[in-house]
Amino acid sequence: MTVRSRIKPSAYFDSVTLMLAQRDVRVLPGVVDAGLVMGTEANKDLLKDAGLLTPEVSAARSDDLVIVVRAETEDAAGQALTRAEELLVRRPHAAGPSAYRPRTVASAVRQLPGANLALISVPGRFAAGVARDALDAGLHVMLFSDNVALEDERDLKTLATGRGLLVMGPDCGTAMIAGAGLGFANHVRSGTIGVVGAAGTGTQVVTSLVHRGGAGISHALGTGSRDLGGAIGGVSAVRALAALAADPGTEVIVLVGKPPAPDVAAGLLAAARGRGKPVVVDFVGAAVPAGGGLYPASTLDEAARIAVRLVTGSEPAREESRALPAQEAARLAPSQRYIRGLYSGGTLCYEALVLLERYVGPVFSNTPLQPSTALASAARSRSHTVIDMGADEFMVGRLHPMIDPDLRIERLLREADDPETAVVLLDVVLGYGAHSDPSRDLVPAIETARRRAAESGRRLPVIVTVCGTDEDPQDLRAQVEALTAAGAVVETAHSEAVRLAGLIAEAAGSRGAPYRGVPIEPAGAGILPDVSHIRDSLLSGPPRVINVGLGLFEESLAAQGVEVVSVDWQPPAGGKQKYIDLLNKLNA
């Protein structure tokens, strides 16, 4: 066995290109494993865990492309490295009748008259500059990119506010404008329920359940995961709330996210009260008071049910599990004690942490409920552990796990080999922008995990929540059937999946107490800003989009009939940081 690597200094390729090339290299004759990533410290750690870290790779810089293979022979390794380079030089062709792609946002706007939104998914250290270009061009911004500096987020939102524009993000995974899904979004019917989401997966869960409950969505506006923190102050959330309050096509508003900073939550709830439209609030794990038009929800499932009831007058049917936790627990080996949750959705991960405490007590995580349950390393589980695999530490130079499941599959097999693992919790999120057929990769992994556990004398329950609708391109029913056939217990209500896992662990000997969130009270009478330009320029019809970054977002928008032009983006100064810094000084 041999491990060989090549470094391509300051060579930029988007994450999709790297993922596809990596998969092709891994199936070459004689190749055992391969990695094609940018040379960030986070990626080096992942390569080290996979046994792919060479001295050459250790010395790589964050803007260097790393190609590394483990193969059975030197010849196989050399051929694989050469093939990897060949795959990377193949540039994808532009969609549509013309292969021309503009090089700047400004030229893209000239190519698409009436463009009103930029969807940006370039690497985080370049994203703020692209977003400023979009705001300068008069575009609203959906900033999918993560790992953007906090000060850049503040500056972008201040600039947007002064120009009457909306910045959704950074780290905004999901939005819907007049039926068009942006980023990760499900295919749902149009209706009169609007969503303000500081949580991408939370927004997807609510919109999907609203659809399955018989109602529909007017718009879903994302804010980014940090917007509700004290440093940003809920700038985008307040402006999105105001826009939906002013939108004549929205009758009910749902606010969803992790618990905001106390003063931000109080101000946002005050702004939501008394607007003439009911506002359903699920700040996961926080206690929100009812009254004044506010309707608190304790789970994402409940938030969707309340919103549907307010619009239709009837309560959607609850989806109850038919699994028997006591029977599952009785089949566990004595060593099996702990729940291991591996989530692609950050909101679902956080909700699992909150719900599980009543069954098993504190749960460790890379996004913990309290500092005492923070993992020393997200790569290693401890006791009951639930991981957000879409968190920043997993995402530098890599694709989101909703697109690329490889890291989660590797972790699933490690957890299956751990004799202390009693049950595994997973989520599968369907929709535009996500993996085209997640069960295709996950089913063999679940079967392998359960078989390896059985060979060691253990039964391994795997519980999967599927978020999606019957209209999604992946086919919700087909995904559920495939996962069920692999031996997984499949739920479409996340709270039910977590309850089942918790009851199994409780029956196996765990003990817990309900998590008590911090109560939130509105701060007097809130005032909503004038956002008539957002209402008129963004919410009045389907968006016309300038896409900067991942080509798969262009493809998903085009499939929905949305007019979109993609920028042929490349990092400034070839991605060399010292030259970028020099350019920034010259332009200051």
At residue 421, φ and ψ (nearest 5 deg) are -75, 120
3-state helix, strand, coil in the chain (%, to 5): 40, 20, 40
Render the burial of 403-432: b for 16+ CB within 10 Å, e for the rest. bbbbbbbebbebbbebeebbbbbbbbbbbb
Whether the Cβ atoms of residue 198 and residue 258 lie closer than 8 Å to each other: yes
Considering the domain architecture, whether residues 302 and 431 belong to the same structural domain is answered as no
Determine the pLDDT at residue 578: 56
> What are 222's two structure tokens?
């994302």
Determine the pLDDT at residue 322: 58
> What are 164's two structure tokens?
């009457």
Find the CATH number of the domain harbouring 41.
3.30.70
Question: Domain boundary at 54, 88, 122, which?
Answer: 88
Sign of the C-alpha dihedral, residues 57, 63, 64, 69? positive
Determine the pLDDT at residue 319: 64
Any domain includes 98? no
Find the CATH number of the domain harbouring 427.
3.40.50.261
Considering the domain architecture, whether residues 554 and 469 belong to the same structural domain is answered as no
Considering the domain architecture, whether residues 271 and 339 belong to the same structural domain is answered as no
Any domain includes 526? no
Considering the domain architecture, whether residues 333 and 479 belong to the same structural domain is answered as yes
Any domain includes 13? yes
Considering the domain architecture, whether residues 374 and 499 belong to the same structural domain is answered as yes
Amino acid residing at 138 = G
Helices 235-246 and 262-272, interaxial angle, to 10°?
10
Query: Per the structure, how many domains does the chain have?
Result: 3
E strand or H helix at 378, and its extent? none
Determine the pLDDT at residue 301: 95
Return d(Cα 46, Cα 37) in angstroms, integer: 10
The residues, ordered by sequence, that sit 6+ positions from 188 with a Cβ below 8 Å of its Cβ are 176, 207, 208, 210, 211, 216, 217, 469, 471
Considering the domain architecture, whether residues 280 and 220 belong to the same structural domain is answered as yes
Whether the Cβ atoms of residue 260 and residue 247 lie closer than 8 Å to each other: no
At residue 70, φ and ψ (nearest 5 deg) are -115, 125
Question: Domain boundary at 447, 475, 507, which?
Answer: 507
Considering the domain architecture, whether residues 48 and 156 belong to the same structural domain is answered as no
Any domain includes 110? yes
Q: What is the pTM of this model?
A: 0.88
In 365-418, where does DSSP find H-type helix? 392-395, 406-417
Question: Domain boundary at 507, 542, 565, which?
Answer: 507
Considering the domain architecture, whether residues 432 and 563 belong to the same structural domain is answered as no
Any domain includes 95? no
Any domain includes 450? yes
Determine the pLDDT at residue 326: 82
Domain region containing 131: 105-317+531-577
Cis, peptide link before residue 170, omega less than 30° from 0: yes
Would you say how long the chain is, in residues? 588
CA distances from 175 to 55, 184, 224, 247, 567 (A): 42, 8, 10, 16, 20
Considering the domain architecture, whether residues 408 and 273 belong to the same structural domain is answered as no
Any domain includes 524? no
Any domain includes 512? no
Strands 2-8 and 65-71 come out as antiparallel
Return d(Cα 189, Cα 574) in angstroms, integer: 43
In 231-299, where does DSSP find H-type helix? 235-246, 262-272
> What are 1's two structure tokens?
């066995």
pLDDT string in tens for the chain (588-residue length): 899 999 998 777 777 778 888 889 999 999 999 999 888 887 888 788 889 999 999 999 877 899 999 999 999 999 999 999 998 876 554 444 345 789 999 999 999 999 999 999 998 889 999 999 999 999 999 999 988 999 999 999 999 999 999 999 999 999 999 999 999 999 999 999 999 999 999 999 999 999 999 999 999 999 998 999 999 999 999 999 999 999 999 999 999 999 999 899 999 999 898 778 999 999 998 989 898 899 999 999 999 999 999 999 988 877 666 567 888 888 999 999 999 999 999 999 999 999 999 999 999 999 999 999 999 999 899 999 999 998 877 876 567 899 889 889 999 999 999 999 999 999 999 999 899 999 999 999 999 999 999 999 999 999 999 999 999 999 999 999 999 999 999 998 999 999 999 999 999 889 888 777 778 877 766 678 889 999 999 999 999 999 999 888 999 999 999 999 999 998 775 555 555 555 555 555
SS3 call for 405 = coil
How would you list the strands of the sheet with 217-222, edge to edge?
A: 180-183, 174-177, 217-222, 190-197, 252-257, 279-283, 294-296
Considering the domain architecture, whether residues 398 and 544 belong to the same structural domain is answered as no
Please report, in angstroms and rounded to a whole number, the separation of the first and last CA atoms in the chain. 52
Considering the domain architecture, whether residues 227 and 334 belong to the same structural domain is answered as no
Whether the Cβ atoms of residue 351 and residue 495 lie closer than 8 Å to each other: yes
Considering the domain architecture, whether residues 187 and 289 belong to the same structural domain is answered as yes
